[in-house]
């Protein structure tokens, strides 16, 4: 298959996932089907189509696809977890439990499957077994939101409301506006006769907005080119949690894309103040300063990024470009050459981005060598 076709498939897949995240499920389905037209026998793409059906609560359609993949896919633990989620959504709890066990037979410490099994056991009123499974999930990931929430729900059901509250509060420590958990916390307070706390929690569950949801929605909207809608979504997240560093970073990127450089700079500044270890935020802050012709200030940002990760190719390239603009060609050349020495992890930057950076950096090196040679 030509590289151009592979790239097209990947772009369609990412767009489909983004549409699904913002609730445009029919658009997500039609987009992933375009990818399947290019590669109709792809188990991976068919699995993604099933996941879109899962997100839109079309459980029967999801299950129909997933069952055809049961003997074809490599990541069977993920496949059978999704089969279990489909059965759970359909109310077929025993089937969901069986699927989670198959998933765990493939990967015994798979936390998502453990959480599903615990949830299924809770719905089947097998509370002691559910607690054992959820404890195992939390031993692997003590901050797993669903495992904490499900264990709290079990404890609430069996009357251990104080212990349930402790778990709900653990979730709210890192997701303070999780509306589902706030509602559950309110019910636990009510059972304990703590009526003011119950009222406060239930009111918050109805009035606040979950910043994680709106941040993720903003990322998806930005990916699809809806930058102004993404900005609105990030601002809604930040209205709920003004100290959400990642969201400030994402807001900065969206503002930069629409050309609002001063506001973008303010967002990147806030992000780096809240999380000084985010090298990408420092790099983007530097790029924004460069666009505003504040070259010396931008150099400091790139140095901060490089100090956090010495093989950060993008920061080396950007530093070289600013040094070139400042008529310091030999220093710029050193930066460009260093940028090419460090190929980034593909999970951090895609192949296309790296190829583009290499091309731009090599052009810059050739340009400077001509200047120095003259």
Burial of 370 (0-12, 13-18, 19+ CB in 10 A): exposed
What is the pLDDT, as a whole number, of residue 347?
A: 46
- Decide if pLDDT at 346 tops 90: no
**CATH 1.25.40.10 occupies which residues in the chain?**
1-74, 212-373
Tell me the two tokens of residue 240: 């709920």
- Decide if pLDDT at 2 tops 80: no
Cβ–Cβ under 8 Å, residues 86 and 59: yes
Q: Provide the terminal-to-terminal Cα distance of the chain, rounded to the nearest Å.
A: 45
Give the global pTM.
Answer: 0.71
Query: Under CATH, which architecture does the 1-74 domain have?
Result: Alpha Horseshoe (1.25)
Cβ–Cβ under 8 Å, residues 211 and 243: no
The C-alpha atoms of residue 291 and residue 312 are separated, in whole angstroms, by 20
- Contacts of residues 250-253 at CB distance under 8 Å and 24 or more positions apart, as own/partner, are 250/215, 250/218, 250/219, 250/222, 251/218, 252/281, 252/284, 252/285, 252/288, 253/222, 253/284
Which of 25-29, 143-147, 355-359 shows the lowest per-residue confidence on average (mean pLDDT)?
355-359
What is the pLDDT, as a whole number, of residue 203?
A: 81
Confidence of residue 349 (pLDDT cuts 50, 70, 90): low
What is the pLDDT, as a whole number, of residue 214?
A: 87
Q: Which CATH class for the 212-373 domain?
A: mainly alpha
H helical segments located in 279-373 = 279-291, 295-308, 313-325, 329-341, 351-373
């Amino acid at each position: 298959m030509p590289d151009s076709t592979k790239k097209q498939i990947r772009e369609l897949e990412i767009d489909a996932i983004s549409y699904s995240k913002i609730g445009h499920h029919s658009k997500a389905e039609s987009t992933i089907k375009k990818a399947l037209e290019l590669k109709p026998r792809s188990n991976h793409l068919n699995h993604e189509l099933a996941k879109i059906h899962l997100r839109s609560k079309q459980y029967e359609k999801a299950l129909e696809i997933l069952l055809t993949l049961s003997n074809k896919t490599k990541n069977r633990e993920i496949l059978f977890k999704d089969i279990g989620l489909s059965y759970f959504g359909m109310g077929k709890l025993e089937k969901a439990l069986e699927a989670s066990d198959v998933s765990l037979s493939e990967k015994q410490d798979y936390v998502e499957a453990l959480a599903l099994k615990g949830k299924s056991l809770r719905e089947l009123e097998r509370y002691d077994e559910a607690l054992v499974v959820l404890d195992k999930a939390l031993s692997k990931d003590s901050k797993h939101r669903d495992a904490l929430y499900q264990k709290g729900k079990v404890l609430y059901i069996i009357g251990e409301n104080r212990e349930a509250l402790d778990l709900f509060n653990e979730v709210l420590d890192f997701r303070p506006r999780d509306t589902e958990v706030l509602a559950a916390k309110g019910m636990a307070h009510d059972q304990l006769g703590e009526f003011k706390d119950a009222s406060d929690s239930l009111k918050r569950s109805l009035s606040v907005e979950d910043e994680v949801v709106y941040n993720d929605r903003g990322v998806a909207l930005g990916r699809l080119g809806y930058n102004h809608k993404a900005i609105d979504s990030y601002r809604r997240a930040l209205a709920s949690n003004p100290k959400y560093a990642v969201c400030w970073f994402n807001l900065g990127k969206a503002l930069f894309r629409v050309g609002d450089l001063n506001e973008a700079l303010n967002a990147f500044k806030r992000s780096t103040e809240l999380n000084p270890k985010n090298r990408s935020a420092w790099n983007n802050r530097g790029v924004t300063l460069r666009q505003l012709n504040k070259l010396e200030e931008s150099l400091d940002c790139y140095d901060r990024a490089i100090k956090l990760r010495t093989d950060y190719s993008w920061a080396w390239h950007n530093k070289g470009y600013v040094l070139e603009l400042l008529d310091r060609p030999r220093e710029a050349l050193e930066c460009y050459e260093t940028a090419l020495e460090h190929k980034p992890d593909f999970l951090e930057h895609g192949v296309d981005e790296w190829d583009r950076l290499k091309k731009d950096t090599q052009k810059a090196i050739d340009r400077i060598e001509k200047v120095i040679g003259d």
